[in-house]
Amino acid sequence: MSRRYFGTDGIRGRVGEPPMTVDFALRLASAAARVLAPDGGSVLIGKDTRVSGYMFESALEAGFVASGVDVLLLGPMPTPGIAYLTQSFGADLGVVISASHNPYDDNGIKFFDHRGRKLSDALEARIEAELDELPVTRESSRLGKAKIVGNVRSDYEQFCRNTFPRGTNLEGLKVVLDCAHGAAYKVGPNVLTELGAELIPVGCSPNGRNINAGCGSTRPDLLQLTVPGVRADVGIALDGDGDRLVMVDHAGQVVDGDQLLYILAMDRAARGTLQGPVVGTVMSNLGLELALQAAGVDFRRARVGDRHVMEMLETSGGQLGGETSGHLLCLDVTTTGDGLINALQVLAVMQRTGHSLADLTGGMRRLPQVLVNVAIAARFDLDASPRVQMAVRAVEAELGDRGRVVLRPSGTEPVVRVMVEGEDDTQVGTLARQLADAVAEAAADQQRLIS
């Protein structure tokens, strides 16, 4: 079954435009209840700090209550926190209202099942099929109830602290934490402070409209200036809903998801606790693959999206995987990507070994990789475009066997992502722009034909 609304990470779009409207959210809650909680049950609803979260929260609450499902409202809470609490509360599902790293005038809705795992493609397709039906309102005796749940943040904070090695702490470590004015703005500082870090918080003053604005994991510029400026040991950048992680070393250099995955894999391999292969994606830097292979660590590539990384880990028996963007999975400590917990895993390696973040990345050489986002008005089949395919073949021929090309439509934005990777910075940049121009021209040709 094809999916009309669900993308790489739930449903996402500009607030007030389909599908991110109040009436759609109500229908979505009713459809999800019929698929995931047909006999009633309970749902946890959390959100990030966007001003539009209030209205979507109310619409989802109405749809679930009308369907006979009890609603527990958590308020602002990191996405991985909702995954954890869904499981610990024994709820039938969890719902997150967030557009992750997108600007505040976007929003989104994503689901977790009763295990705290993201839904499969098949379940998302079943929910979409139910959207054609009118929302259900049960008789009064079968309606659900709704209540605000207090003091659950401390439960999640305790869970995060418990993932840090027993008998150790963060004393002596000066940390700058950027929460992107998002969902982790209270949890993050609390956890790091309680573990003993000397903390300098930035991006922890949300006002509903500043989420991800010039800060967070997609805009670490402020963190790069702040860490060396205050002589901190390390910087941590989360995104708006707290599931992505990017770090900055003491010199202000960004350490991305591939490098963090390398650090965690090498540490687990050295301690003999690494199980199964390490899983990246087609976008993971070739330098990660080569470094792990040199260390005798099996590395595999999944489709883009942490759900697909999760699926490959489950089928291969692995526990460690992730994406360049900072979506990392440490399944030996939690069920989903958790930016704060993953940061604690890296900080634990620093404390255990006495090495700086820069030292720990030294064994991996990132090959030059250029990513260009090409805006498109409508999706089109890249494989069916002669112009695009001819351009791809030309670039691949010039790179030979020392580089890679990846083209893929974004699952969350109206863009095609063009990635070129090779050994020479100048060549890679030139080829990426050349290929991006071909994609833009092909998209324009299609739009002219449509109009």
- Best CA proximity match to 9, nearest among 277, 279, 309: 309
Q: What are the φ and ψ backbone dihedral angles of 416, each rounded to 5 degrees?
A: -105, 130
CB-based contacts of 143: which residues, under 8 Å, 6+ apart? Answer: 65, 66, 68
Total H helices, total E strands in the chain: 14, 18
- Best CA proximity match to 408, nearest among 335, 316, 324: 324
Other C-beta atoms within 10 Å of 323: how many?
25
What is the spatial distance between Cα 283 and Cα 411, in angstroms, rounded to a whole number?
A: 14
What is the spatial distance between Cα 6 and Cα 27, in angstroms, rounded to a whole number?
A: 14
What is the spatial distance between Cα 367 and Cα 178, in angstroms, rounded to a whole number?
A: 27
What is the spatial distance between Cα 34 and Cα 314, in angstroms, rounded to a whole number?
A: 27
Task: Quote the DSSP letter at residue 68.
Answer: T
Helix axes 22-36, 53-66, angle to 10 degrees: 40
3-state secondary structure 138-163: CCHHHCCCEEECCCCHHHHHHHHHHC
How far from 138 is each of 29, 40, 119, 135, CA to CA, in Å? 14, 10, 26, 10
What is the spatial distance between Cα 55 and Cα 275, in angstroms, rounded to a whole number?
A: 44
Contact criterion met (CB below 8 Å) for 72 and 42: yes
DSSP for 371-396, please give it: EEEEE-SS---GGG-HHHHHHHHHHH
State the residue for tokens 């910087």: 235
Catalytic-residue membership of 100: yes
Catalytic member of 42, 52, 100, 284:
100
So which residues are the catalytic ones?
Answer: 100
